[in-house]
A and B are shown apart, each in its own frame.
Chain A
Amino acid sequence: RSLKNQDPGPQPLELKQVFVLFQIQYNRSYSNPEEYARRLDIFAHNLAQAQQLEEEDLGTAEFGVTPFSDLTEEEFGQFYGHQRMAGEAPSVGRKVGSEEWGEP
């Protein structure tokens, strides 16, 4: 058979198609076209980020589309992290009169 007649196999999906699949899988809808466009931008950024993480990872982890792919890193941290004192060690009070007072 000539090359022309061969099945080219599965083709990569366009970004918008991937986003549609994401919306269906995770039941997402957006209130207006501006919000849709913003979320599509974030989604594209996150896919690139996931690809970079996979390249940098030293283990066997795979990164890609997840339920959080339409959130910015800040939104993700805000919704799913600790929020209170995020990233900070809790303050530990010293006993009054402790020998540690005055030491570096």
Chain B
Amino acid sequence: VPPTCDWRKLPGIISPIKQQGNCSCCWAMAAAGNIEALWGIRYHQPVEVSVQELLDCGRCGDGCKGGFTWDAFITVLNNSGLASAKDYPFLGNTKPHRCLAKKYKKVAWIQDFIMLQGNEQAIAWYLATKGPITVTINMKLLQHYQRGVIQAMHTTCDPQRVDHSVLLVGFGKSKSVAGRQAEGGSSRPRPHHPIPYWILKNSWGAEWGEEGYFRLHRGNNTCGITKYPVTARVDLRVKKRLVSCPP
């Protein structure tokens, strides 16, 4: 596992930050981001897939009322792929819509999906060598989050009560305390040691958090990040294909 990894640094892999608005569709947006990233890594072509198709064509047909990332992957498998976000755009309201999957050309598809081992070392290895994955966390602290690395105790952020899916796009270590003070952060006392962290892509718009992203402490299952690490697989032809995440 490399010391750092950030898929945002490789052009065409991570799509722009999405905005779910009044629709509880984090699960669909995280899954779409996962497919987009893996498609970009495998085929060297940026793609943006239809989140609305995932909402309209799921088993329950009421995607704005919540779900899990595996619901999205099952829909992609059942429909043999996804249309582009441009053809089948996101509407962002809670009213159920008719499934229009057959109307548009598929721009990306998956072979299957898997749940990874629930330990952070295995997740880091998979992330660095295969690509971004979806995780489901306890989002309680995100309501008031502005920036920086969240390092919460399990009493503050219960790892068993996970309720929000996001895309894991990288990891790293924060600078030493001197470096952070030079950046001009807040004046409260800071840890003196570098903090290992995960970089996560949220779906609440680019105005939220660190331009739509946030960071969680890596190493003690902060906010339940290891509970449901799930990813699609876009290619099974070369089973041992490993790719390199930019440091």
Contacts and interface: CB of A to CB of B under 8 A. Distances in A.
Interface of A: 46, 49-50, 53-69, 71, 73, 76-87, 90
Nearest to A86: B163
B104 interface: no
20 contacts: A46-B144, A49-B144, A50-B144, A56-B156, A58-B217, A60-B174, A60-B180, A61-B215, A62-B146, A63-B144, A67-B205, A67-B207, A69-B144, A76-B143, A77-B139, A78-B24, A81-B139, A81-B164, A83-B65, A86-B161
B147 A87 contact: no
B145 interface: yes
Interface string B27-39: 1000000000000
A55 B188 contact: yes
B153 interface: yes
A64 B66 contact: no
A87 B161 contact: yes
B145 A63 contact: yes
Q: Secondary structure of the A side of the interface?
A: loop
A46 B143 CA distance: 9
Contacts, number: 124
Interface in B179-225: 180, 185-186, 188, 190-191, 195, 197, 204-205, 207-208, 215, 217
Interface string B76-91: 0000000000000000
A67 B139 CA distance: 15
A44 to B, nearest CB: 13
Contact of B152 (A49, A58, A66, A78): A58
B67 A57 contact: no
Contacts of B160: 87
A61 B147 contact: yes
B149 interface: yes
Contact of B24 (A55, A63, A71, A82): A82
Given A66-B145, A82-B66, A87-B161, A59 B191 contact: yes
A70 B180 CA distance: 30
Contacts of A53: 141, 144, 156
Contact of B143 (A56, A61, A71): A71
Given A80-B139, A80-B204, A82-B164, A57 B146 contact: no
Closest 10 CB pairs of A and B: A59-B151, A83-B66, A84-B66, A81-B163, A60-B148, A50-B144, A87-B161, A59-B149, A61-B148, A58-B151
- Interface size classification for chain B: 35 or more
B20 interface: yes
B95 to A, nearest CB: 16
A57 B150 contact: yes
Given A57-B152, A60-B174, A79-B22, A73 B68 contact: no
Contact of A58 (B22, B65, B143, B153): B153
Given A59-B195, A62-B185, A63-B146, 17 more contacts: A49-B144, A56-B152, A61-B151, A62-B146, A63-B144, A66-B146, A68-B143, A77-B139, A78-B24, A79-B24, A82-B67, A82-B163, A83-B24, A84-B67, A86-B163, A87-B163, A90-B68
A73 B146 CA distance: 17
Contacts of B138: 87
